[in-house]
Structure 1
Amino acid sequence: MVDASHGQGIQAGDNNHQTNVFMQQAPIDLAALSSHGAADKVKGLSRDDAVVALARLPVDEALKILEVVLADDEGLAVSLLAHMNHRRAQELVAELKAVKPWLENLPAASAAIAACEQAARVELGERVGQIEHAGPSGLGTEGYRQRHRNGAILWSARGGATVVPPPAADVQGVLGFPLGVARRAQRSPSGTDGTFQRFEGPSGEGATLYCSERHGFAAIQKPFLTYHDRMGGTGGQLGFPTRPADSVSHTLTTVLHQPFEGGMVYAASLRSPGRLVAVGVFAEMLEYHEAHNRIMGPLGFPLDDAVDVVSPHGTSGRRQDFTGSGGEDSGPATIYTSTHGTFAVRSSIRARYEQLAGAVGSMGLPIAEEVDSRIYALGLRRGYQAFEGGAIYTTSGRRASFLAAAWQKRERTIEVRKAVIEMFASSPGLERTLGFPREVEKRLAESDDDAVQFFENGVVTIRGGRAQAWVRPGAGG
């Protein structure tokens, strides 16, 4: 007798005549084994052979084996159930869902993923692995995933089977499960084309994944998503996101920020604890903010969107309020931009400027940066800033109070008219000689416009719109 079970044939007779005898392997009988023994046997078989072996068993016997497999190797159990006859799979998961509730939808998910794969085979490329359980997402959604070389198919009860790019395959990230297919986005003002795809997001408030050849993949979630949509999406001023959002610790709070083609968007909960509010910084204001160390600099982060202003001098511009650095000498700050340039108004000068109605008041828009004349030896901060309608001077520091036995902060901020600034411009050195103003101007009785103002080293009179200085003898010498 010749054993041909491991060959393709045997040679018989004297004439080298070969008779091919193909031996069919006996079917695997899992019923002869214990549940654990059968489970071990299943683990050693190919997926298709294991599915066939389980299909030959009564449902209750196959169920016992799958319970053991599920406990030991969840991925294998999912793969076997996903490739079974649909009716048999439904019968088994009807019992197994008591152990793993998310298994209830596996037969439907498997069929939907197969149909999606058939339609997107070229786009997805070859399979990588088998259908697997995916979840829970940040929102608690359970589903399934089939990975491919160029992406993945994700399935959830809410979104169905949907193709996603590789960065979106991990449902436990910021995106969660998809809510629809990728669609073409509006071309941005920068000329960028790309796509967007909506996702459930980590808290159910939604997230969107944008993709462009220029910037790659970048996700947006609330509050950036709401702000981006309100600004017109990719077709609006912001355009496409260029990087994901990031966080940075600030003196006042933790701030999130995300860069876009057209600007930077910040989100903080300073005004509404527990509620993040997004605010964008754009164009010249963005350049100025970045040049001054962004939110870690003296300006801090934005409080509101920029608004248009028109000064009494007929100049159009924009203003945007910021928190300031949060230091002792830094209150809120405001950036102004106009044909004069882009400048910040800060601290005590800003406080007085706002009392004078800001850009729409007599001072108008700023025309230069604050000039800091700090006197370190005396611990004083002296500075001034020029505006369309004049200038504001400030002196601040600490002095000893013997009555309070402590150092008290002393601050004096005073404005001067444009006529005084024009006088200084026409007389080099006069401003330094006169020093800073000591008090606000006093109107003369005979005219509403004529006034006198006292400085550290003299006095200035204003008559008929012209200023004249009277220097104290010996001053400046």
Structure 2
Amino acid sequence: MAGRTVPLRVFLSCTSELAEPRGESFVEAAVRAINRAGHAPHHMQWFGASAGTPVEESERRVRECNLFVGLLGHRYGTEAPGRSGVSYTEAEFDAAVESDIPRLIFIRDGARADRVDERQVAFQAKASDGVFDRFGSLEQLEYRLFAALKKHEEEFDDAWVDRLVRIIRRDPVADAAEAVLSLPAERAALALADAAADDVAEVLDHLATAGNDTWAGTALAAMKHRRAEDILDALGPAPAIRLARRAAAAIAAIATAQAPLLGGPAGPLAHAGPSPRNTSGFVRPFSGGTVTWTPGGAYVLAADIAECFDRHGGAGGVLGFPISGPQAATESPFGTRGNFQEFEGNTNGTGIVYRSEHGAFASWGPVPDHHWDARGELGFPLDDLVVVHGTTKPGYYQRYEGGIVTHSDFAGTQVLRGNIADEHLSNGGGIVFAAGPEEPSPDSPQGTSGVRQRVEVAYGAYEEGFAVRLFERRPKVVRRTSLETMVTALPATVYASDECGTAVLNVQLNGQYGAAGGSGGPLGFPLGPSDSRARWPWVAQWFEGGVLSRNDVVVLGDVFALLRDDPMVVATLGEPRRAEQPIGAPGSGEAIQYFADGVVTVRDGVAEAWFRAQASRR
């Protein structure tokens, strides 16, 4: 007879006194015994939120288990609300009795509590009417529970095997198939291995016809090789069952070899794919990860990589099937260590999942290729790759320790770094793509050094023409999911410096700025929206040495100095209408600039404001 390969679900019931102290409690000793026996412990303290009351949830979990283990100490325990004085532990025991679930009861020896609780005495008497033992120490409980579990599983298997063999032999094929399908395939294999090969072949053929070829293949893989071959000979070609058996056997071998990492099965073998590369195969989830299989081989996905794999649609998603095991990654320039695992990817390029202290994040298409070309200078990813829709062809961006990698059809793969990358993050992805590499911008007359970069920004993330944030109240960057976004992208140029912050200028504004000399001209670097100097009652882009209005009028020099230092003058004059013009004799330095509600004159280097009433009298 084949050995057991699927764990029993064991409900562990006890009062809180046996769960203390943490690190050396009787509950932990019992959990160790259950794990050593190869079974899956379930305990009330591990349950999450549920729709029912706590006692209803406990009873429901009891009914889902194959075995009840009760640890009874000296205290009766907390009474369950609405249960007429019955404790949680006794309510769980009663649920096991009502559901006819086998019970192993262990009663604690030693000194009792200061006052004997008659309810606990009565409960112990009721519970010990069956299989029970006593314990006085952690070691004693662990040893005795382990021995009881091994004895129970032999009896449990023998009873089920005898019953299923009789069903397979005498009942109609459809009824026999339904009976065996009610059990995990590995457990039913114990009975299938003992029944006549022709009878089993009929049952498995019926199951495969109904779409349960993975169950049939898993059951065959759990048997001894010679016995499985006999059944397959009786089956005939059965290519689907044979392929599923091959996958199940390979996955089982890996699960056994890597049991400390993977733990027990968390679900059945299932078909997977086809992938974007048209590969089909199988997957099986485990408590500590996932194993995939294709004709190219079987690979283990650790828990966090498996979660990332599922997040991206599994084998049928953009990553496809894994094509390597975990590989050590070079330590990043930021001191981070981790590993990576390669995947088929899709028609745009291969896929890869990086795993580090930041988490497990996926990259695919052209972005991983750029990461390799950068020789690790970008470090590990901090988020999954995001697909950007709304352009002629979808683009991508992904955040790394050393910057944000973007890819678009018109600009290829580029990187946003430093303050420019921070601007992308702080404005919800307002800077969508880099349209070219970052480059130094000429030093300003004020002595500021910085950089500039051509980019594509999301319409609505910035006011048209000016670096004023409107993203929160007029959003145009629509996140479909954590992995997709929809935008309308517009060309712009971003400037960044430590002194002035980060500012985004659209094509028109950047053209006027360039005509005025750019950062090396009198305007200097643009001021970012967070700069305390960038305050004006009318719409304008502030610079170190002046402002540029929405009508493309530049305010510089002495006129700018007057307005910058006197907000009341700015508010009264209104927006500029024309650029500064010379007046008086050539070379006198006298000038005038017109505003909506007045003018500013400059004589002998002194700027003076004249408001509409005063200007009309002049």
TM range (shorter): 0.5 to 0.7
Does the 8 Å CA contact 1:263/1:286 hold for their aligned counterparts?
A: yes
Report Cα offsets for 1:147-199 as digits up to 9, x if no partner: 433223221123x1111123247534554321101112222333322221112
Q: Look up the match of 1:323.
A: 457
Structure number with the higher strand fraction is 1
For 2:175 and 2:219, how far apart are their aligned partners in 1?
Answer: 17
Does the 8 Å CA contact 1:153/1:164 hold for their aligned counterparts?
A: yes
Whether 1:304 aligns to 2:435 is yes
Question: How many Å apart are 1:307 and its aligned residue?
Answer: 1.1
Unaligned runs of 5+ in 2: 1-161, 466-490
Q: Look up the match of 1:185.
A: 329
Q: Look up the match of 2:377.
A: 236
Does the 8 Å CA contact 1:434/1:455 hold for their aligned counterparts?
A: no
Whether 1:340 aligns to 2:499 is yes
Q: Look up the match of 2:20.
A: none
Where 1:206 maps in the other structure, the secondary structure is strand
Where 1:196 maps in the other structure, the secondary structure is strand
* Among candidates 529, 540, 546, match of residue 383 of structure 1: 540
For 1:328 and 1:283, how far apart are their aligned partners in 2?
Answer: 20
Q: Look up the match of 1:197.
A: 341
* Among candidates 270, 282, 294, match of residue 428 of structure 2: 294
Q: Look up the match of 1:171.
A: 315
* Among candidates 548, 573, 584, match of residue 393 of structure 1: 548
Count of aligned positions:
403
Q: Look up the match of 2:352.
A: 208
Residue correspondence of structure 1 range 27-66 to structure 2 within 5 A: 36=174, 39=177, 46-53=188-195, 56-57=197-198, 64-66=202-204
Q: 1:329 to 1:194 in 2, by over 3 A?
A: closer
Does the 8 Å CA contact 1:372/1:383 hold for their aligned counterparts?
A: no
Where 1:191 maps in the other structure, the secondary structure is coil
RMSD across aligned positions (CA): 4.8
Does the 8 Å CA contact 1:251/1:325 hold for their aligned counterparts?
A: no
Does the 8 Å CA contact 1:349/1:392 hold for their aligned counterparts?
A: no
Q: Look up the match of 1:76.
A: 215
Question: How many Å apart are 1:444 and its aligned residue?
Answer: 9.4
Where 2:361 maps in the other structure, the secondary structure is strand
For 2:616 and 2:368, how far apart are their aligned partners in 1?
Answer: 60
Q: So what's the TM-score if we normalise by structure 2?
A: 0.52
Question: How many Å apart are 1:294 and its aligned residue?
Answer: 2.6
Whether 1:135 aligns to 2:272 is yes
Unaligned runs of 5+ in 1: 1-24, 375-380, 396-411
* Among candidates 500, 511, 514, match of residue 354 of structure 1: 514
For 2:206 and 2:417, how far apart are their aligned partners in 1?
Answer: 60
For 1:161 and 1:89, how far apart are their aligned partners in 2?
Answer: 25
Letter in 2 for 1:215: H
For 2:222 and 2:358, how far apart are their aligned partners in 1?
Answer: 39
Question: How many Å apart are 1:393 and its aligned residue?
Answer: 3.1
* Among candidates 273, 280, 283, match of residue 418 of structure 2: 283
Q: Look up the match of 1:439.
A: 578
Q: Look up the match of 1:3.
A: none
Question: How many Å apart are 1:427 and its aligned residue?
Answer: 9.2
Where 2:502 maps in the other structure, the secondary structure is strand
Report Cα offsets for 1:399-433 as digits up to 9, x if no partner: xxxxxxxxxxxxx3222444654576799987778
Report Cα offsets for 1:326-350 as digits up to 9, x if no partner: 4896045543222422131445644
For 2:584 and 2:351, how far apart are their aligned partners in 1?
Answer: 67
Q: Look up the match of 2:360.
A: 217
> Using CA pairs below 8 Å that are at least 6 residues apart, which structure has the higher relative contact order?
2
Query: Which shows bigger deviation, 341-350 or 29-38?
Result: 29-38
For 1:114 and 1:156, how far apart are their aligned partners in 2?
Answer: 14
Where 1:240 maps in the other structure, the secondary structure is coil
Structure number with the higher helix fraction is 2
Question: How many Å apart are 1:285 and its aligned residue?
Answer: 2.7
Letter in 1 for 2:432: F
Question: How many Å apart are 1:135 and its aligned residue?
Answer: 0.9
Query: Which shows bigger deviation, 466-475 or 114-123?
Result: 466-475
Q: 1:356 to 1:344 in 2, by over 3 A?
A: same
Does the 8 Å CA contact 1:137/1:173 hold for their aligned counterparts?
A: no
Query: Which shows bigger deviation, 137-146 or 436-445?
Result: 436-445
Does the 8 Å CA contact 1:324/1:333 hold for their aligned counterparts?
A: no
Does the 8 Å CA contact 1:163/1:181 hold for their aligned counterparts?
A: yes
For 1:343 and 1:366, how far apart are their aligned partners in 2?
Answer: 8
For 1:422 and 1:254, how far apart are their aligned partners in 2?
Answer: 47
For 2:540 and 2:495, how far apart are their aligned partners in 1?
Answer: 18
Does the 8 Å CA contact 2:340/2:354 hold for their aligned counterparts?
A: yes
For 1:152 and 1:319, how far apart are their aligned partners in 2?
Answer: 45
Q: Percent identity?
A: 24
